[in-house]
Structure 1
Amino acid sequence: MAASLSLLPNPLFTVSPKLSVPPSLSTTPHVLKFPTTYPTHLIKPLAAQVPRGTTSSVIASAAATPSITATTPSTTFHGLCYVVGDNIDTDQIIPAEYLTLVPSKPAEYEKLGSYALIGLPSTYTTRFVEPNETKTKYSIVIAGDNFGCGSSREHAPVALGAAGVSAVVAESYARIFFRNSVATGEVYPFESEVRICEECRTGDTVTIEIGESRLINHTTGKEYRLKPIGDAGPVIEAGGIFAYARKTGMIPSN
């Protein structure tokens, strides 16, 4: 009985002779083809952004008003660097016990910065933030491979930004840390083309020129190429993904 039923046509897939079926569907009815490109009329271009307010770690002229574009911002960071190695995870950047601090509260945001990189092992004899201080004197962090690995906590880049860090330069990043850095707008996550962490020392004076994608170590006299920050730059400049969305009209401003 089962064998005879299998020979009957399936009523769910019976095609009326009055319908015109395209050959591509009649020969391969189980294949669905999707467009390989997105409709360009639905995509908004990135708008040019103006850098955030100048801080003590940013070299800027109060009188100058340079032309800023989304691809070549003229922001420059200058200060002392703090050097770490490979695989610095988020628990070393900000231990889990401090995740109860709420960054949206100014006092707790400041306190969060005081604990930045406090989870580093004892082999790091120089503290990133001195005891009883909330800010670090090292405005640029230089790291090796896989910086920010571990948990997906947004507190990691927020703690660095709260401590006064303007940028991190690493050989590579954990993807979620890179994304959180851009989304929060706290720090610029630059990638180096070589292992700068092996040629710089904690306390060296360095400059990062975003427009030229380079790092200059004034202590050693060496210069290094950085990978362009790309479209992440305008988002960080605006102060994070929500600030950027409001600024460009993607979502209503408050």
Structure 2
Amino acid sequence: MSDVRDPVTPGRAWTFGDDVDTDQIIPSRFLVSSDPADLGAHAFADHRPDFAEGVEPGDFVVAGENFGSGSSREHAPVALRGAGVSGVVARSFARIFFRNAINIGLPLLVCPDADRIADGDEVHLDLGDGRVVDHTTGETHDADPLPDFLQSLVDQGGLEPYTRRKLGHTDD
């Protein structure tokens, strides 16, 4: 997995509109791999070709309504993590994308004002309090913090590492 900074460190916002589906996040022709770095190299290949080459570890995806709609493929949030994305902020998420992202430890915040964040703004996420701080404009946007249990999954890197720790398999 790419070097992904903690979501509290400011990173660049890459903005997208409404109804961005999983085929736009990672086109199906690239699903021959499950390697996060390989998938990340093709994130948004057709929808925003400059993304994979320009995104840096610690950057954020910011979107409108229904981000991650479409198929239930886990490859979409894996591609974002593989590209170095530290989190996704959207007005709303497709349910299966939301859960897949949590399962792999990708932080998410539902933020009604996500559309007020401009492409290229420097932002950071306050996951505990549910805020998105836009350092470029000086604005702070309220968001819905994750419930404690889901936040613990994200904090531990996703469902697999969480389960390993719960079962006492700390040597993996």
> TM-score, normalization: structure 1?
0.61
The structure whose Rg is larger is 1
CA distance in 2, matches of 1:56, 1:159: 12
Contact 2:4 2:81 in 1 (8 A): no
Superposition pairs for residues 168-247 of structure 1, below 5 Å? Answer: 168-185=88-105, 187-192=106-111, 194-197=112-115, 199-230=116-147, 231-247=149-165
CA distance in 2, matches of 1:157, 1:148: 9
- State the superposition RMSD in angstroms: 1.9
Contact 2:64 2:90 in 1 (8 A): yes
State the partner residue of 1:31. none
1:78 partner letter: P
Query: C-alpha deviations, 1:25-62, integer Å up to 9, x for none?
Result: xxxxxxxxxxxxxxxxxxxxxxxxxxxxxx6633xxxx
CA distance in 2, matches of 1:242, 1:57: 20
1:96 to 6, 23, 28: 28
CA distance in 1, matches of 2:97, 2:34: 18
State the partner residue of 1:57. 5
Query: C-alpha deviations, 1:137-179, integer Å up to 9, x for none?
Result: 3711110000000011110000000000010001111110011
- Is 2:42 aligned against 1:115? yes
CA distance in 2, matches of 1:171, 1:213: 13
1:127 to 30, 36, 50: 50
Structure 1: any 5+ residue segments left out of the alignment? 1-54, 59-74, 104-108
CA distance in 2, matches of 1:154, 1:204: 28
Query: C-alpha deviations, 1:197-231, integer Å up to 9, x for none?
Result: 2x121111111112221111111111101101112
Bigger RCO of structures 1 and 2 (CA < 8 A, at least 6 apart)? 2
State the partner residue of 1:42. none
Q: Percent identity between the aligned chains?
A: 38
CA distance in 1, matches of 2:55, 2:122: 14
Contact 2:34 2:75 in 1 (8 A): no
Contact 1:91 1:119 in 2 (8 A): no
1:158 to 78, 95, 98: 78
1:85 partner letter: G
For residue 151 of structure 1, give the secondary structure of its aligned residue in structure 2: coil
